[in-house]
Amino acid sequence: MANTTYSLKIESSARPDLRVGVVTFDPTKFVEGEDGYIYVNVTNVGTATAEGIYGQLYKVNLDGTRKLLTDVSVLLVNDTEDTELMVGETGQLRFKYSFDSKGDYTLQVNVSADKEVTSKMTDNSATKSLTVEEAAWKSWLLYGGIFAVIIVVVVLFLFRKKLPMMSGKKKEPAPPAKKK
C-alpha cells in the first residue's frame, strides 16, 4: 500500500464584515404617537464591499424575549442614501418609528449584509434604552376633564334650591275631584 500526499490550498474569498457602533436617537426622548429616528453607526471592517445591508429593530421585553418593531431602514453614507458600504467605510442605518405608549424601552438593533459570514456577526448588534414620554395633549385632556367636573359641582351646588326635589318616596296621587 502506498502513501499518497495531496497538496491542498484553501483560500477564503473576500467578504464584508459589519460592526455596529454608536446608537443615537432623534429626538433624544421620543413622544408617544410621534415619529422619531434611531441612528445606528455601521462600519464595514471586512475585505469586500457590503451590499444588501439589512437592519432590524427590536423591543426587548422584561423576560428577555424580543418583539420586532421594524426592519425598514435607510443606509446613509455622508448624509446621502446609499446601498453599500465600501471596505473601511462607515455609514448610518436610520430607522423611523413611532411608539404607541409612554415608558422606558430597551431596544436592540441587529445588522447584517449579503455574503457576510455568520461567525463574524458577533459585533453586529447593539442594545440601548430609550424613554418615550406621554403626549402633551393627554395632560391637557386630563386637566380639562377635572376642570369640567369642578364646574359641574359648583353649578349644582349654587342652583340646588332651584332643582326639583328628588327623594326616594313616591308621591301619592291626588284624590279624585268631588262631583256636584
* Bridge partners, 30 (sequence order): 132
Q: Phi first, then psi: what are they for 155, rounded to 5°?
A: -60, -45
In sequence order, the 6+-apart residues with CB closer than 8 A to the CB of 48 are: 13, 14, 15, 16, 87, 115
Question: What's the mean pLDDT in 131-159?
Answer: 74
Higher pLDDT: 178 or 104? It is 104
Would you identify the CATH topology of the domain 18-134? Immunoglobulin-like (2.60.40)
Q: What is the pLDDT of residues 65-77, one digit of tens each?
A: 999 999 989 999 9
Q: What is the pLDDT of residues 33-91, one digit of tens each?
A: 999 999 999 999 999 999 999 999 999 999 999 999 999 899 999 999 999 999 999 99
